[in-house]
Amino acid sequence: MESMLNKLKSTVTKVTADVTSAVMGNPVTREFEVGRHIASGGPGMCWRIYNGTKKSTKQEVAVFVFDKKMIDKYQKFEKDQIIDSLKRGVQQLTRLRHPRLLTVQHPLEESRDCLAFCTEPVFASLSNVLGQWDNLPSPVPNDIKEYKLYDVETKYGLLQISEGLSFLHSGVKMVHGNLCPENIILNKSGAWKIMGFDFSISSTNPSDAEPKYTCKEWEPNLPPLCLPNPEYLAPEYILSVSCDSASDMYSLGVVMHAIFNEGKPVFQVNKHDIFKSFSRQLDQLSSMSPALLNKIPDDVREHVKMLLSVTPNVRPDADQMTKIPFFDDVGAVTLQYFDSLFQRDNLQKSQFYKGLPKVLPKLPKRVVVYRILPALTSEFVNPDMVPFVLPNVLLIAEECTKEEYVRLILPDLSPVFKQQEPIQASNMILLIFLQKMDLLLTKTPPEDIKNSVLPMVYRALEAPSVQIQELCLNIIPTFANLIDYPSMKNSLIPRIKSACLQTSSLAVRVNSLVCLGKILEYLDKWYVIDEILPFLQQIPSREPAVLMGILGIYKCTFSHKKLGIPKEHLATKSLPHLVSLSIDNNLNLNQFNSFMVVIRDMLSRMENEHKTKLEQLHVMQEQQRSINITNPGNQSEETKSPPSSGNQIDDIFGSTGVNGKENGSAAAATSQPNRMSLTLEEKQRLAKEQEQAAKLRSQQPLAPQTLKPATTTNSQTKDLTSSLLNNMTSLNSLSLANTARPAPVQGTTISAFPSSSPMVGPMGAPVSNGFNPPMGFHAGGMGMGIRPTGPGLYGGMATTTSTPNFGALTQNQAPIGQTNKSPDLSALDNLFTPNKPKVTLNQMGPTAAPGPNTPWLNQFGSAQNAQTQMQGATVGMGGVPSGFGMQANPFFSPQNFSQPAAAPSMNQSGIKHSASVNNDLKDLFG
């Protein structure tokens, strides 16, 4: 490992030393930073090419360096000839400006050790690409070693060289004189450029006359760098010492042959006897063998044969070569169009960019990324063209790696993310970005997502265009998993909620709900309960689609294993909201059924959870009571005190009294049935039986008992309480019937009306129905107030706000050992008369008499009456409607609906929960 590090260190040191020594003292280093050695080119491959940057602007350049050490073997006058030739070529190139000629960024500078000048960024020379690696760094860079020309690159490259020659021949009346692969440079974008004007010849005639070129005689004794490459020279150069523009066309033919033959020219030239070599070459060209051109493509073979003709007049000129069918390739034409875009107006550009996506897949990736992409991104400075260019850029980005995307595309996209002018173009840009959002979020680094991509999404949600808002809401769920949670919670969700509440478009509102429903799984439970569910109650409209969207969010939250809704929230917020929405007149039958399925599921879970909790609480209370009975010394003074009215109420409704204190009396626990296990109906019946027993006891003198009077502010209540409590002492010993009735069993239903059948008293003695004093004074005696409602509003459930029906007691009781004289109830009348409730108009309507067989259901009258009572019911304690009981609630008793015929059909249809859930989700989220 250490040896490898040392080798790497020595290599880096050597390269740095070479670069330093190559340009040390040259004025070019004042303005440019010189990087690594990347290629070679020029006459005899004498120029080393380095990458570099301009210090002031950080602009990328290529630095061409000629090290004078290469010519140390020559005599001084030969050195001077070589230097002068190289200087001349660079100076000529600097004066010429054309897209097909290599662009010089900084003119030639000379120092004691080298010559140097700077050009546009360069990849390599055509000679390097074709396998000639002279004057290259060691080892040869992999990007050059593995470089293979694609057909489209070859075609368009040759077209570019032809266009460059056409400019030289027709535009400036010049012959290049040394066109060969080493003088053709591939820039960083892949374009082919001409350089090496060391042996160029300008016309001696005026510009308006026929050009005439003077050629120098070949001098074999000059150094090779002072002579053109003989393998690419036309025969007339050597044999007749003449040249014109057709001589360059011969050179082009040899270049084309070399490209299709692995860099080999048509003939190998013996430089020591060049005249003999050219004479032999002339004979071979006169009778050219077909095998000589067999590797040339068929559609250009004849043109290459004409270019290699011995007779200059037969050779096509440069302008004619640009028009041959070989260059009519779709890729070559596309690249050519890009090079002439600066000449087009916006309409022509837009038409071209619209058709470009069909062409891009047919081109090699290297050509697309390094040739087409820079041309596209350069159009971002034109805001009107961005909507036409952007789809092509994103199409290219899909084929790029993440590293290529970040390096080549993202820097140019960042300003486009923030573009807001002009408005029409900005809206189109938003739509395009939204359609490719998954690409952006996948390849863009997190920091750029937060700073550039997500702000654009937020802007789309707040856009005035409904189409943009809809599209944004539709695609947000597709990339929600790529958004970090703080951004979603603090920025994205609030904007979705705002769009839903403030829009006037039904589509936006529904899509907002659907979007929220789809991204619930990425949120935490309490954020949904605290922020999403309360928001549903703020939605102002009640269209069916909106209602089903609300239902969908409730259902997803309720059924999701990670989320869920607590039973307290179900009881106080979710169910009341859903119930109110379910009876909206806009819903059809299927939609109403969907609401009912969710409501029933919620009720069922709430019931199961709360019942389990109460059962566990009951077990704990029974265990505590057993401990108190086993260790009576541990009982508090309060539990040892005589039972009060609150304790007697505990005996009826459970072990917890009005004030929430547990009754620990062992006597009460042993003498009373297990009241904790009684149902509400049983408790109601027991209360009414004790009410009637108290009535009967008041008709005969009873032995006085000493009891602590209940404390109250109402004097009449105090007197009556004392009177009724005194009567309870002898109540257990009074026999009112001959047959005993067993105690009610837990879970059974007891009629709400007084029964004529005998029943068992608290101590086991048979008693008839009577008024229970503790029950009667739960409201008055304990300061809770009496607020009666219409008949049957509570569904027959015993509550502390109901007024006892004293008339029923006198009608049903039978004289047992007493006179038939009606008892004096003036004390009770005086007590309850001032608090008589107001009767609403709905309660004054006729009420059907209770049936003999079903007193529990029939006490509510007709179905229409029951519904009317629910609507007219006053609100009781806690804000709960007084009429919302188990039997008065239409969702538990379908026969109570205002349309009796529709309810049975709903029950008979047997709605399947799973099918409803699936259909609902399908309706909601497509």
577-617 pLDDT, tens digit per residue, is 999 999 988 899 999 999 999 999 999 999 998 999 999 99
Please provide the average confidence, as pLDDT, over all residues in the chain.
Answer: 73
Q: Mean per-residue pLDDT for 31-51? A: 93
Residue 822 phi, psi dihedral angles, 5° rounding: -65, 135
Q: Look up the CATH superfamily of 6-327.
A: Transferase(Phosphotransferase) domain 1 (1.10.510.10)
pLDDT value of position 397: 92
- 814 in Cβ contact with 770 (< 8 Å): no
CA atoms of 251 and 234, how far apart (whole Å): 6
Tokens of 682: 């049983």
Residue 629 has pLDDT above 70, yes or no: yes
3-state secondary structure of 292: helix
CA atoms of 380 and 412, how far apart (whole Å): 8
Q: Mean per-residue pLDDT for 360-383? A: 89
How would DSSP label each residue in 609-657? HHHHHHHHHHHHHHHHHHHHHH-GGG--HHHHSPP-HHHHHHHHH-SB-
Q: Which among 751, 803, 771 has a CA at the least distance from the CA of 697?
A: 771
pTM confidence score: 0.59
Say what the alpha-carbon torsion angle 725, 730, 733, 738 is, to the nearest 10 degrees.
-70
- 882 in Cβ contact with 794 (< 8 Å): yes
Confidence of residue 82 (pLDDT cuts 50, 70, 90): very high
3-state DSSP helix/strand/coil percent for the chain, to nearest 5? 55, 5, 35
Q: Mean per-residue pLDDT for 736-754? A: 39
**Cα angle 546-548-552, degrees, rounded to a multiple of 5:** 115
Q: Which helix (H) or strand (E) holds 760?
A: strand 759-760
Tokens of 880: 């709960």
CA atoms of 234 and 254, how far apart (whole Å): 9
Which region among 32-46, 255-269, 459-473, 752-766 has the lowest average model confidence (pLDDT)?
Answer: 752-766
3-state secondary structure of 51: strand
pLDDT value of position 678: 56
* Residues forming CATH 1.25.10.10 domain(s) in the chain: 343-557
Q: Which among 55, 16, 22, 7 has a CA at the least distance from the CA of 36?
A: 16
Tokens of 863: 């179905």
Tokens of 614: 């109460």
Residue 522 has pLDDT above 80, yes or no: yes
Which region among 23-27, 97-101, 892-896 has the lowest average model confidence (pLDDT)?
Answer: 892-896
Q: Which helix (H) or strand (E) holds 105?
A: strand 104-110
CA atoms of 587 and 602, how far apart (whole Å): 20
Residue 784 has pLDDT above 70, yes or no: no
More confident residue, 469 or 750: 469
Q: Which CATH number fits domain 343-557: 2.40.30.20, 3.40.630.10, 3.10.450.240, 1.25.10.10?
A: 1.25.10.10
pLDDT value of position 251: 95
**Which of 181-185, 569-573, 600-604, 606-610 is predicted most confidently?**
181-185
More confident residue, 514 or 909: 514
Say what the alpha-carbon torsion angle 246, 249, 250, 256 is, to the nearest 10 degrees.
-170
3-state secondary structure of 478: helix
Residues 352-366 have pLDDT tens digits of: 999 999 999 989 998
DSSP designation for 56: T
Tokens of 802: 């109901």
Residue 854 has pLDDT above 70, yes or no: no
More confident residue, 841 or 547: 547
- 329 in Cβ contact with 152 (< 8 Å): yes
CA atoms of 642 and 550, how far apart (whole Å): 56
Q: Which among 735, 736, 734, 726 has a CA at the least distance from the CA of 703?
A: 726
Q: Which among 842, 885, 920, 881 has a CA at the least distance from the CA of 580?
A: 881
Which region among 121-130, 279-288, 686-695, 893-902 has the lowest average model confidence (pLDDT)?
Answer: 893-902
pLDDT value of position 447: 85
Residue 33 phi, psi dihedral angles, 5° rounding: -90, 130
Confidence of residue 698 (pLDDT cuts 50, 70, 90): low
pLDDT value of position 649: 38
- Which region, left, alpha or beta, applies to residue 695 given φ > 0 means left and ψ of -120 to 50 means alpha? alpha
- 893 in Cβ contact with 598 (< 8 Å): no
Contacts of 334 (CB under 8 A, 6+ apart): 356, 359, 363, 372
More confident residue, 484 or 31: 31
Q: Which helix (H) or strand (E) holds 281?
A: helix 274-286
More confident residue, 22 or 425: 425
CA atoms of 565 and 574, how far apart (whole Å): 9
Tokens 């009891």: give the residue: 707
pLDDT value of position 450: 82
Confidence of residue 476 (pLDDT cuts 50, 70, 90): confident
Residue 416 has pLDDT above 60, yes or no: yes
* Residues forming CATH 1.10.510.10 domain(s) in the chain: 6-327
3-state secondary structure of 300: helix
Q: What angle, rounded to 10 degrees, do the helices at 151-166 and 245-259 form?
A: 170
Residue 882 has pLDDT above 60, yes or no: no
pLDDT value of position 93: 95
CA atoms of 799 and 788, how far apart (whole Å): 10
Q: Long-range pairs for 442-448 at CB < 8 Å and ≥24 separation?
A: 442/402, 442/482, 443/397, 443/400, 443/402, 443/405, 443/406, 444/405, 444/406, 444/410, 445/406, 446/484, 448/410, 448/414
Chain centroid, CA 564 distance in Å? 22
CA atoms of 545 and 924, how far apart (whole Å): 8
DSSP designation for 71: G
DSSP designation for 405: I
pLDDT value of position 694: 65
Confidence of residue 879 (pLDDT cuts 50, 70, 90): very low
| Helix ranges restricted to H, 654-711 | 666-671, 680-697
Contacts of 887 (CB under 8 A, 6+ apart): 795, 796, 856, 857, 860, 893, 896
Q: Which among 487, 419, 490 has a CA at the least distance from the CA of 459?
A: 419
CA atoms of 22 and 116, how far apart (whole Å): 9
Q: What angle, rounded to 10 degrees, do the helices at 386-399 and 410-417 form?
A: 140
pLDDT value of position 766: 43
pLDDT value of position 659: 38
DSSP designation for 891: T
Q: Which among 194, 187, 199 has a CA at the least distance from the CA of 163?
A: 194
Say what the alpha-carbon torsion angle 240, 246, 252, 253 is, to the nearest 10 degrees.
-80
How many alpha carbons fall within 13 Å on the CB side of residue 651?
25
